[in-house]
A and B are shown apart, each in its own frame.
Chain A
């Protein structure tokens, strides 16, 4: 198992170096001068522009800037935001719990609904449940998140007035963050109504963010279950006199979960992309919104280091998924 883990860890090194190049290059191919944007509408003299560029290192050749960036990274220095002058890592760590909470709740909703729906659809293949659920999943998968989010806001926040439009908790409540997860912190605060308020703020963006992963997980589970249900070992389990629930829930599902868990891992990347849109629609103070704001301000250090940190999170989750994969599938573990 340790060898398996170290092997997977080794794969991350070239991936990480590749990401530093993409993150560094991406922001520089965008048109726009960060120094001019910093100066704002008043403009800036050419001398002051040159002075600031030299101060920030933008006058050096690109390769030299990249090496400086890598060198700083090696020392754990992610740079300072050009706008707020705060360390990028501090801003990231402040905002990340909001995104993590949203993403975790979304992927939990997606898995808790998607897996059973996929299993039932496979077991009752061709039934009305199968057809309705898989068509709904296809619609969910094809739906633009932006539009879907707005539709839900119109229905639940505007017409029905069941949920708030934006934010993480009502302004009536204030407490010091302990974990950064509003649901947990609101419970820890002991303030009456705080948890309900946090939950009502979270539910709509989480549903929007869960939509695509839910559709993908349901379809993947169905197809994996259909494949597994035809395997000889499932026939053996039935020949052993096991109940249908045990045959499906233990013998078939355990094997079907291998590709499903991989899919869930891959969906974390989709979640991050979805979080950018969802956080923008719902004014959710997470790293998605932070990235969008930083791109429009050409805040180079925030964009490049932010991208890198997000990518690192996705890689970490995928590493955990790979490890789970090894735990579930002994053939992989013993390779």
Chain B
């Protein structure tokens, strides 16, 4: 049985001009210790579908699904108190903008110790010691002093390491990483990805990696879901997807990789849909 199982998820946002459908009936599942990549361009509903799992969408969002289940827990019908027993403990999430994702008014030490004290019931001293261990585990230099730093005193890469440390603090079974490297320098991107993969292996947790970078997908994922305009276009294991993409949109995404450039004008998604006569 899958760890996370979502069937026919639809997310609509109430707007002044009527409902806007951001996610349109997608199915997603992830097994224990599996790395699933969800790829697609901006606005394809990748983040929205995972924010729906986390319960982080605003009140204007209408979420419906035939099933949204995490390890036997029905995420659709649980109260917010019940959801808080899972969110931040069993399922954690890191985001695209690490500096903005950390509270500028508190030290990063306070922010990680908060998770340890409130979610895991640790004492102040135990939380401090554990925070130090976690900072070391995610490769933050001089962790003893960095605990007392504010987010603006750290680099983007260091802030993302802090976010990762917070996310793994409770040894979650599922970590959702929403474009964790997009806002970082190229050299740091590689380090953060390697760190995530190492931790995924060490902790044996499932990892959902939301990205629009096919290079990241190739390096990390076991299985890939391709999304476009809120719909799932294709789902395949990573080798099959790169060797024999089935859907024109997937072929369009792959053709946009820099290494596939031929020197001519880059083809667009509509070129592929026109060729295939599909939509």
Contact = CB atoms under 8 A, between A and B. Distances in A.
A331 B150 CA distance: 8
B150 A239 contact: no
Interface stretch (B70-78, B81-89, B127-135, B258-266): B81-89
A69 B127 CA distance: 61
Interface in A78-98: none
A48 interface: no
Interface in B28-75: 54-56
A328 B105 contact: yes
B234 interface: no
Contacts of A14: none
A137 B89 CA distance: 42
Taking residues whose C-beta sits less than 8 angstroms from the other chain, chain B's interface range is: 20 to 34
A244 B92 CA distance: 17
B182 interface: no
Nearest to B99: A232
B114 A255 contact: no
Contacts of B95: 232, 235-236, 239
Contacts of B163: 236
A239 B114 CA distance: 13
B103 A239 contact: no
A239 to B, nearest CB: 5
A330 B100 contact: no
A241 B118 CA distance: 9
B183 to A, nearest CB: 11
B119 A240 contact: yes
Interface in A189-242: 231-233, 235-242
A126 to B, nearest CB: 10
A334 interface: yes
Contact of B166 (A240, A244, A330): A240
Which residue, of A240, A246, A255, has the highest number of chain B Cβ atoms within 10 A?
A240
A242 B56 CA distance: 12
A324 to B, nearest CB: 13
Interface residues of A, number: 22
Contact of B100 (A231, A238, A239, A240): A231
A235 B104 contact: no
Nearest to A233: B103
Contacts of A179: none
Given A239-B54, A244-B80, A331 B104 contact: yes
Contacts of B84: 241-243
Contacts of B86: 241
Given A231-B100, A232-B97, A331-B150, A239 B92 contact: yes
B80 A330 contact: no
A182 to B, nearest CB: 38
Nearest to B106: A254
Contact of A232 (B101, B119, B152): B101
A276 to B, nearest CB: 37
B118 A236 contact: no
Contact of A239 (B56, B85, B97, B104): B56
A251 interface: yes
A259 B114 CA distance: 25
Q: What are the nearest 10 A-B pairs in CB distance?
A: A241-B88, A232-B100, A233-B103, A240-B88, A330-B150, A241-B87, A232-B101, A236-B101, A241-B84, A254-B105
17 contacts: A232-B100, A232-B101, A233-B104, A236-B103, A239-B54, A239-B93, A239-B95, A240-B88, A240-B92, A240-B166, A241-B86, A241-B119, A244-B80, A246-B118, A329-B105, A331-B150, A331-B152
Given A241-B88, A242-B118, A254-B103, 12 more contacts: A233-B102, A235-B95, A236-B163, A237-B103, A238-B87, A240-B88, A240-B114, A240-B166, A255-B104, A330-B152, A331-B104, A334-B150
Interface of B: 54-56, 80, 84-89, 92-93, 95, 97, 100-106, 114-115, 118-119, 150, 152-153, 163, 166
